[in-house]
Each structure stands twice: as structure tokens, then as C-alpha cells.
Chain A
Amino acid sequence: MLNWIILEASSYAAQIDNVILIIALLGGFWLFAAEFVLFYFVAKYRRSRSPKALHITGYDHEHNKWIHWSHYAVIACDIVILVFAARAWYHVKQSVPEHVDEEIRIVGHQWAWEFVHPGPDGKLGTPDDIDLVDELHVIINKTYKFHLESADVLHSFSIPRFRLKQDAVPGREIDGWFTPTVAGTFDVPCSQMCGLGHGIMGGRIFVETEDEHRKWLDSATGKTAAIPGHSTGKLASTQGRN
């Protein structure tokens, strides 16, 4: 639903937007119903049209049934919302996909994101890791697991177009995942107040095709000869699964 306001650019964006749509429909129904009845009463029972009010306690069944059945209906709506919300939550936050193509490390700083890419060997924590500030390069339709940390205060790693958000907490490593599905360059703002530069802290994520990504990798490592073979091998091995 939100696609017409903001692009759905990850594998789970549509699922989250569906939860939002369902709440909008159910909540919207109750909102309009309640507002309609309210305005109807205000119009109908103006003193000019209704000079004498009724005396109703609100305890007899004839009158309070209107409150009772509607509040059972609200509970039913709550359950529907709960099911969809919990399913989306479980998919995005509680489970990690069985197959992960690459892992990245993200560190929040006052006031920039540090993105550690695994580099040509595809493994984190090796000397060929590519460590960039405010610049994250990923390949379209690959699944990434991220390890989120903070070097100082709370930050929040947010990619609105992926419908992804996760706070970074100093002293902890929080894992999460995403699969970009649309190529392009998107904002990665910080969404948790982190001090003076919070309002201008923002990186960019570059969702690239494999060719573009390889070119970037070449330029980033500066080793154009040997490493690409390495890299291609890694990429080729995962290609069948996507």
C-alpha cells in the first residue's frame, strides 16, 4: 500500500506494508463509524430539534448492547491485527533466513555509520575487509546478515525503503538481515537521537547489480587483477539459489 508513497525495496517491505494496510482498513472502519455516529448525534440532537433530552442510565440491555457488541467486534479486529503483525515481526526480526549470502558489520558513531564489507573473500574479519564511512554496497537479491554495534551512544540503523529499523546499543551486537530487491541508492539515516549531529547523520546504501558491484569492489580494493576471480567464484557459487 505504501508503495505509492515510498518504494518497497526489500523482500519483506511488502509484508510490513500489508500489516499497515490491514490496520488502516480495520482501524479506518471503526474511526469512520465512530466519527459518523458522533457527527450524526450532534446534528440530530441539537437543542433546536430536540428540546427535551432522554433520561438513560446506560445499564439496561436495550441501550448498552450497542456498546457491547461493538467492543466484541473490536476484540475480533485486534486478533486479526495481532496475527498479521506477529507474523511479519517473526519473519523480519525473530528468524534469520537459512541461506545468507554475505555478512556485514555496521558500527554507529557520533555521527556517521561505519560499514565493514567482507571484501573479495566474502568473509568478515579478514584483512581484505572494506571499511567505509556512510557508504554501504550490496548486491540486489542477495541476502545479507548484519552485525550491528555502536561505538558510543544509542543509534538506530534505518533504511526506510527496506522498512528496516534496528537500534544500535553500545556493548551489544545485534544481528538482523535484509534482502534488497530494487537497484538504486537509498538513504540510511540514524533514527535514534544521538547528539548534536543526529539530524544530519545519514549514510547511503548502494544496491547494485553483480557487475556494478564487482566494479566497485575492484576500485575499492585497488587490486584489479587477482581478486576479481576470487570474488566471481564466490558470487558464482551462490547464483543458483537466487
Chain B
Amino acid sequence: MTTHVAADHAHSEGDHGHHELSFIQKYVFSTDHKVIGLQYFMTGVLMGVLGALASYVFRMQMAFPGHAVPGFGLVTPQIYNQMVTNHGTIMIFWFAMPVLIAAFGNYLIPLMIGCDDMVFPRLNRLSYQIFLFSALLLIASFFVPNGGFGGAWTSYPPLASNPIYNQTPYGAPMWLAAVALEFVAFLLGGINFITTLMNARAPGMKMYDIPMVVWMIVIASILFMASVGPLVAGAAMLFLDQTLGTGFFDPARGGDPLLWEHLFWFFGHPEVYVVLLPAMGIVAEVLTVFARKKLFAYRTVLWTAVATGVLSFFVWAHHQFVAGIDPRMANIFTVTTLLISVPITEMSFVYIGTLYGASIQLSTPMLFAIAFIVEFLIGGVTGIFLGASGADIYFHDTYFVLAHFHYTFVPIAVIAVFAGVYYWFPKMFGRYMNDTWGRVHFWGTAIPFNGIFLPLFYTGMAGDHRRTFNHLNFPDLARGDLNFLRELSTVSLLVMLAFQVIFFVNFFYSMFRGKKAPANPWNANTFEWVAASPPPHGNFVTLPHCYRGPYEYSVPGHSSDFWPQNEPAPKT
């Protein structure tokens, strides 16, 4: 398994760097994994900004119902539903997945396992092109007659399947087609990640020598491949229902809407771990480097990730406790859901254990990595309320659910991503990001984030339902304390969004004007730091050989507190 297979040379037709590539060859039709990684990153972040702007619109409506939103205008129920639906869809499928899996996966996997490119560079390019097309298709769906789809990101039929009910005859199928295409893009990317890791590792790199982030992205890709098939089939059926009037999910014609719910959540729950695992991987890298400490129980982390992945296929119906499934099933799914708490708590404890006896430097990436653990613990614990059937009767579809999964997804897709960006930025662009502004950005993100979602736990407990256009229509919900909390949440969002401007200025300024960084600025062990910053086409001058695991920090008797994977042991 450790034979080293160089990627096929499609990317430069045989000779690396012998001729200058034109701009179009280099940036538009590139097969270089780093360029594709950055393309995914930029597209994902741009979509993330769109998703964030959507949240601005609907949060303003929730805090100040009926008032025109500055810079946008009056929010109608149609616009509101459209914003809520596409915020969810974009943040999961066009922000979290491309950035966490495709961007970091593409950029890091070949560098961290010590090879020159992905095994299938052309497939990789196709993956990004399909992804880009799917993003454009989704954006286009806003501008068709009757506007974009507004039936929630779960897209439950018959609302989603019948234009008479959803009133978006063009928006709904376009939304669905965009999602299905995005799945195709990630299937292609995932196949590439798995094959590359299995076949193109540096000589000497054994299974337990692979950096955790690479493992996590590959395990996530396997989960994605195994879970998405049923949903793609379901999406095809739903598309036919929408466009040709078939009745797969229409009870009036022998179909069943619950079938879609099963297909959707059979994918939808593993999907949570598809984005969680890469985030855990990024945090593992950052944590070990800035703690100067070996990852606590590497094999435990790896196998708990696998266990979580396997268990995640048996929990999906906890999204459907009160959906009209056989109530006896709820007990089984409560058991499986609570079981998943075992590997996840184990993984969290192991990460905390890594900090025991460490030598911690609170740099900007480290602050984000620690914040990830702090916030994700809250998200994990509040999940138990929803996985326990009895409590879920009340909490289902309330703001408690919303607050819970934002306490998982924001740490995953925002906080862990920032940890990764601040950490790998010197590798990507050969320059540092400004650390002071990084810290300002950190506190301006972490504090308002809690300000947004802590109040929503409370409003959820008080009975606020999700996707409620105007709470003032419900006498029990038009309470002063709840209104105050809704406003607090919205104001916190505004603050958090404002602080992201600092990040973007820092990011683009540092890209061109930042302090120059050496090849290995953090004294890290993994292979990507062996390559020049930024790594040239082909990555390494000579492909590295692996001599040890990735986390050998502070080894007693070794001359320095890190020991790169490619450095041979001194002869004794």
C-alpha cells in the first residue's frame, strides 16, 4: 500500500514548468490541485457571503417584523421563505462542503502525503467545473419568474414536488438540479481523494503516519459516497414529480412523502459528520503544532471517527420522530443516536487530553482551534435533547433545534475554517496574515456568535417555531422578553458580520503585502511545510520520504521540539 504512484501528467502534458502557462490554462482550466483547491475556496467563501447576507435579511425581519430591511427593502413571506431555504442550502452545500472538503482536501492531500498532484487531475478539474455550474444554477434560480425555491432546505414533498403548492414552478426544479449537480461534483472529488490517499502516499508513510486532517477528509468522502446514492435517486424522482407530474411522493397517486424524508435524512445525517470530520482534522493539526504536543491517542481519534461514521448511518430517523413514522421506531433511533455520543465525547476528550502537559502558544489559528472545541461541546450536548425521543416531541422544529445545529455548524464551517486559513495561509501565499488583526477578528467572531445563538435556545424553549415569518402573529410569542432576545440575536449577527470585513481586508492585504513567511513558519512536522511557500507546480523538488508519524513534537532527547516526517533519524 505504500508504493508511490505519481499522478498522471495531464496537467502539464509531460513537462513541469518548462513553459509558462497562459492565464486561462493556469487559473480557469488548471488541473493543479492547489489551483483547484483555491478555486473551491474562493467560490465557497463567495457563496458563504451570499448565505450570510440572506441571514441578515431574515434575521432583520424576525427582530423588526414589517420594517424595511436597510439595503434590501420590505421582506414578504415569499422572500422570507426563499432566504431561509437558500441560506440553509448554500451554507451546507456551497459553503461548508466546498471549503472544508474540496478546498482543504484538494490543497492539502497531495502536499501532506508527499506527492505531486491528485491521481486523477482531469477528474478534479471536472469536479470544480460542475460545482461552479451548480452554484451559478442556484443563483440563477432567484431570477426566474416567481423566484427561487422557498420550501426549506429539506425540500419535503408534496410542497416541493408540486408547483401548485410551492408556487415556484421554475425555482424548485432549478434548486433541486443544482443540489444534485453539486452532489455529482463532490462524488468526483471524493473518488479522487480516496484513490490519491490509498495510492500516492510517500514511501514509508504507513496508515498511522497519515496526518489526521487527510484521514478525516477521506473518511468524510467515503461517508458521502455511501450516503448520497439514495438521495440522488430520490432527487431524480422528485425532479420527475416536479417537471413531468409523476407521483413518487404524491399520496393521491400512490406515492409517499415519508419516503423522501427517509432518503433525505439517510443522507442528511451522515452529512453532518461529512463536514464535522474535516473540521476535527484541521483542529487536530493546529492544536498539535501550537501545543508542541503529540496528538493524544492517534489511533483512538482515527477509530472513533470511523465509528462515528458507521453509526451515523443508523440514526437518520431522529429527524422524523414526530413525522408520522411508526412511533415504535423512535425508541430504536433514540438508542442509536445516544450511542453516537460515545465516540464523539471520546474524541472531544482526546482533544482536550492533547492539551495536557502541553506548551501552548495562543496564536490566532490556535485561538480558533480552541474555540472550536469550546463551542462544539455546547452543540454536541444540546443535541442529546433532540436525539431523546421524549424531549424531542417538544423541541422538534423549534429554535432550540436551530440553535443546536448552529452550535455545531458554525464551529465546523466558520471557526475551524478560520483556524485552517490562518494556519495554512503562509503556505498558500508565502506570507503571514496580520496576527493582531487576526486576534481582533477572532474575538469579534467568537463573542457575537454566542450572542446570536444563546438567546435562540431560550426562545426555542419558550415555543418559537422555526421558519416563522412574523412572531407577532402568534399572541403567545409576542412577549417582550422574547422580542428582546430576537433583537439581541439580530444585533449580534450584525456585529459578527461587520467583523468579517476585518478578515477579508487582512486576507487580501496579506496576500500581496503581508510579511514574507519561510517554508515552515510554525515549525510543523507534516510534509506540506517541506515544500516551498507557495508550493510550485509539482509541489516538491524531490519527493519526500516518510520516516515517522506526523505529531512527533517535544520528543525527549531530540535536538528541537519538532521532528519533521521527512527527516531521517540520526545514525547512532
By size class, the interface of chain A is: 35 or more
Supposing A153-B158, A193-B159, A196-B81 touch, asked if A94 and B327 sit within 8 A by C-beta, the answer is yes
Question: For residue A170, which residues in chain B have a CB less than 8 angstroms away from its CB?
Answer: 158, 251-252, 257
Contact with A along B244-258 (1 / 0, CB 8 A): 000000011000111
Q: How far is the CA of A51 from the CA of B458 in the complex (A)?
A: 43
Residue pair A163, B324 in contact (C-beta under 8 Å)? no
Closest residue of chain A to B78, judged by CB? A196
Whole-angstrom distance between the alpha carbons of A200 and B384 in the complex? 30
Across the interface, do A152 and B165 meet the contact criterion of CB distance under 8 Å? Answer: yes
Chain B residues with Cβ below 8 Å from A66 are 349, 353
B298's partner among A5, A15, A58, A199 (CB-CB below 8 A) is A58
Interface stretch among B5-13, B98-106, B132-140, B464-472?
B464-472
Report chain A residues within 8 Å CB of B467: 193, 198-199
B3 in contact (CB, < 8 A)? no
B 429-467 binary contact with A (CB < 8 Å = 1; else 0):
000000000000000000000000000001001110111
A74 touches B341 (CB 8 A): yes
Our pick among B330, B461, B466 for the contact of A6 (Cβ within 8 Å) is B461
Residues of B within 8 A of A241 (CB): none
A212 on the B face (CB < 8 A): no
Mark contacts of B315-336 with chain A using CB atoms, 8 A cut-off: 1 yes-contact digit, 0 otherwise.
0000001111001101100110
Q: Is B152 an interface residue (CB 8 A)?
A: yes
Contacts of A154 in B (CB 8 A): 156, 158-159, 257, 323
A196 B349 Cβ-Cβ under 8 A: no
B328, B331, B362: which has the most chain A beta carbons within 10 Å?
A: B331
**Smallest CB separation, A9 vs chain B (Å):** 11
Query: In the complex, A114 Cα to B299 Cα: how many Å?
Result: 57
Q: Are A6 and B463 closer than 8 Å at their CB atoms?
A: yes
Pick the residue among A37, A58, A85, A167 that contacts B389 (CB under 8 A).
A85
B373: CB under 8 A from chain A? yes
CB < 8 Å: which of A35, A58, A187 contacts B377? A35
- Which of under 10, 10 to 19, 20 to 34, or 35 or more describes the interface residues of B? 35 or more
Contact check, B80 vs A89: say whether CB atoms are below 8 A apart: no
Within 8 Å CB of A52, what residues of B? 359, 554, 561
Query: Which residues 47-69 of A have a CB within 8 angstroms of B?
Result: 47, 50-59, 63-64, 66-67
A187 neighbours in B (Cβ, 8 Å): 463, 474-477
Q: How far is the CB of A57 from chain B (nearest CB, A)?
A: 7
From 158 to 202 in chain A, residues with beta carbon under 8 angstroms from any chain B beta carbon are 158, 160-161, 163-172, 174, 185-187, 189-200, 202
* Given A153-B162, A172-B324, A198-B467: 7 more A-B contacts, CB < 8 Å: A46-B362, A47-B361, A71-B345, A71-B346, A172-B251, A195-B165, A200-B473
7 sampled A-B residue pairs with Cβ under 8 A: A20-B395, A23-B384, A31-B381, A34-B377, A46-B362, A47-B361, A199-B469
> Which residues of B pack against A, CB within 8 Å?
77-78, 80-81, 150-152, 154, 156-159, 162, 165-167, 251-252, 256-258, 291-300, 321-324, 327-328, 330-331, 334-335, 338-339, 341-342, 345-346, 348-350, 352-362, 370, 373-374, 377-378, 381-382, 384-385, 388-391, 393-398, 458, 461-463, 465-470, 473-477, 553-556, 561
Closest CB pairs A-B (n = 5)? A199-B469, A171-B251, A88-B390, A160-B463, A58-B297
Binding site for B on A (CB under 8 A): 2, 5-6, 15-17, 19-20, 23-24, 27-28, 30-31, 34-35, 37-38, 41-42, 45-47, 50-59, 63-64, 66-67, 70-71, 74-75, 78, 81-82, 84-90, 92-94, 110, 152-154, 156, 158, 160-161, 163-172, 174, 185-187, 189-200, 202, 204
